[in-house]
Structure 1
Amino acid sequence: MFDADLEEAIKVYQRNFGLNITGAMDAPTMMAPRCGVADVINGTSSMGAGAASHAHGRNLYSYFPGGPRWPRSKRSLRYAIAQTAATPIDRATLSRVFARAFARWAAATTLNFTEAASAEDADITIGFHAGDHGDGEAFDGPLGTLAHAFSPAGGRFHLDAAESWVATGDVSRASSAVAVDLESVAVHEIGHLLGLGHSSEPGAIMFPTITSRTRKVDLASDDVVGIQSLYGGNPNFKGVAPLATSSRDMDSGAGARSRPWSALVAVVAVAAGLAVAL
């Protein structure tokens, strides 16, 4: 049953994503599987730039409250792939996927990343988990929330082990209709590990949703400006590649699965300030 608070929550959600602000659960509001990092914290939207700024081409990246980042004295970060028992993907393949994902951020910044042999030697830990895994942000099974990561210097990056992760080959040709590209999600969550919040720019890596069977790994200008504002730019960075996929394709690509109603309600609850994360 709808009331004024729920209608306002839906409007906040629609504003964040540049949708037509109707306050109703219309078709465009039924979004794709997404990151578990909240867009609204304590009732305040971190994606407040909205569609009006998008129309004028302004930067739409955001930061976590307080603007946390890794200290200036720490430009070399070590990561460990620590919890892998819950995924069938072999360790060598995981190492290659995460190395590529970290390299995309290193190319644009003054940061560099190295895989560590153990979690004890790492600044960042990566793991696959199912359901309630002890951090207060339980996973929900296939689609819905795909992964979440903690702001600096929390260094924790968790992926839902229940997803149909694709780590090799063309995800758009995957046999599963709910296949999710691992590298695409990894690039996004690393942005959070470095201090970026979500962006209202649909073409940005830091946009909070992605459809199944979609690959999206190249930083957009919005991502680059946001991360370089935190850490400075790599003088050898060659700029961003042209977008290969339109925002329309990302929102409603062929063969993609939309989030279920229950997951959408969870997002609306976050927009109302009822929870810190999905």
Structure 2
Amino acid sequence: MALPRCGTDDGKSRAAGARRASPAWRRRRTAQHGGRWYKRHLTYRVVNWPSYLPQHEVRLAVRAAFELWSNVSSLVFWEAQDGPADIRLTFFHGDHNDGLNNAFDGPGGALAHAFFPRRGEAHFDSAERWSLHSGKGRNLFIVVAHEVGHTLGLEHSPVKSALMSPYYKKLSKDFVLSWDDILAIQNLYGKPSKGLAIQLPGKVFTHFQDWNTDFYDRDRQQRSLSTYYCHSFFDAITADGDHNLYIFKGSHYWVVSASGNASDPRPLQPRWPGLPAGIDACAWSQLSGKFYFFKGGRCWCYAGSKLEAGFPRKCSALGLPRHPDTALYFQQLRRLVLFKGPKYFVVSEEPLGVEPYYPRSLRDWAGLPPGTAGAVPHRHGSVYFFRDDQYWEFDQAKLQVVATGKWATQLAWMGCWDANSEQVLF
């Protein structure tokens, strides 16, 4: 029950989960409680959105979510910029007049819920850690696509791989919609009027900031991107010997000078050829002057912009954790340190591998929470850890956390002056 899930009532589908899905059962699932629209052309409207996500990217994600369903059925959707619409998507916090059972509870738990036709509403928890790529955070696209299914009349599916499973699926190389989703929507609205159903794999939808946005105002988009990491959270962070910060998010990175001036977003590929988007962790080594990147079970090592021989390699085979939360070069040990959940690993560089007697418990880092997204040693002597909009200052002499707070508004050296002046943070 602690897993993030849809807050819409399962109706009969939870009891049906123990039975094998069949066409007859599917008709009951979609028609008994959900109902359907009695027209094929529907309008939708995004009433509001999280302030830390660019509006044009949210609109792209929502449009893509509706197109998932129109690609495999006879439905056609149009966005209404304002005024009435058949389907309305709104972000709320806590109780929002849906009854106490539907009140949102912050990060985790029920992320969203929706109403069947013909009320046509989907509600989302504005306090959730929403993201528009497949790395860190709750993927807004997949949750919207699921809730849109409810507004079209679909109930929860007992098929684990289905988009309409009560627990939100993760994006992968597989198709977003399962055979169960497609048959269910076609049972209500029929097949596409022209051509065949179009299916797309999840990897197409992993980075909406990389989609073509020529039809949006370029100046507004550039202003949004220039402080994009300040308005939400990032994938990884590290610092070099000149105290320049490198902040990574999706397929871009920012350089923040020691004086706190942030660069415009830069694409990863020209600087580190072959490096994938959405990295899990990064560390710059004071010992070798090299950048180490980690994603999944693989790692990359660059001297400048040159990939070192033998990389990328399968670091999980060397005992390093898959999908590490944070990477750090720790000067006191003269080693890399990887953090994963409640444990940490001390890693040598030559040869690359986990030191004996590790992993150890995170309790050694007194006061540090699990699941941090990055860490940097500061020139004043502390190590700063980050997660979402929070930071933790770790005193290397006392070996404990001595302060915590909001990094974008309290740490001037993070380069968020422009974002702070707009007063739209979090």
TM-score (structure 1 length as normaliser): 0.65
Matched ranges for 1:229-248 at <5 A? 229-234=187-192, 235-238=194-197, 240=199
One-letter identity of the residue aligned with 2:171: R
Aligned residues: 202
Aligned residue for 1:47? 14
Over 3 Å counting, the alpha-carbon distance change for 1:59 and 1:204 in structure 2 is farther
Between structures 1 and 2, the one with greater strand share:
2
Equivalent-residue separation in structure 2 for 1:76 and 1:94 (angstroms): 22
Alpha-carbon distance between aligned partners in 1 of 2:36 and 2:76, rounded to the nearest angstrom: 14
1:60–1:200 CA contact under 8 A, matched in 2? no
For 2:44, give the aligned amino acid. Answer: Y
Corresponding position of 1:103: 67
Structure 1 residues 164 and 77, CA, compared in 2 at 3 Å: closer, same or farther?
Answer: same
State the shift of 1:59 in Å. Answer: 6.9
Q: State whether structure 2 residue 38 is matched by structure 1 residue 80.
A: no
Q: Is the 8 A contact 2:163 2:181 kept in 1?
A: yes
- 1:39 touches 1:47 (CA, 8 Å); kept in 2? yes
Q: 1:31-42 maps to which residues of 2 (within 5 A)?
A: 32-40=3-11
The higher relative CO (CA closer than 8 Å, separation ≥ 6) is in 1
Q: Distance in 2 between matches of 1:127 and 1:208?
A: 20
> How much does 1:88 deviate?
1.8
Matched residue, 1:223: 181
Q: 1:207 to 1:255 in 2, by over 3 A?
A: farther
AA partner of residue 7 (structure 2): G
Corresponding position of 1:125: 88
- Structure 1 unaligned blocks of 5 or more: 1-29, 245-252, 258-278
CA 59–108 in structure 1, closer or farther in 2 if over 3 Å, else same: farther
Give the TM-score normalised by structure 2: 0.43
CA shift digits 1:41-80 (9 cap, x unpaired): xxxx3333333415x9997682264441101xx2111111
Match of 1:155 in 2: 120
Kindly indicate whether the alpha-carbon contact (under 8 Å) linking 1:32 and 1:210 is maintained by their aligned counterparts in 2.
Answer: no
Alpha-carbon spacing, 1:64–1:32, altered in 2? closer, same or farther (3 Å)? farther
Q: Deviations over 1:63-114 (max 9, x none)?
A: 264441101xx21111111123x54212211110000000000001111111
Q: Report the CA distance between 1:255 and its aligned residue.
A: 7.8
Match of 1:134 in 2: 97
**Matched residue, 2:318:** none
Distance 2:65 2:177 in 1: 10
Stretches of structure 2 that go unaligned for 5 or more consecutive residues are: 204-321, 326-340, 342-426
Q: What is the SS of the residue equivalent to 2:71?
A: helix
**One-letter amino acid matched to 2:98:** D
Q: Which residue of 1 aligns with 2:37?
A: 70
Secondary structure of the structure 1 residue equivalent to 2:106: coil
> Kindly tell me: are residues 67 and 130 of structure 1, through their superposed partners in 2, closer, same or farther at Cα, counting changes over 3 Å?
closer
Task: Name the CA distance, whole Å, in 1 between partners of 2:67 and 2:153.
Answer: 16
- Pairing 1:116–2:80 present: yes
* Cα distance change on mapping 1:132 and 1:103 into 2, 3 Å: same
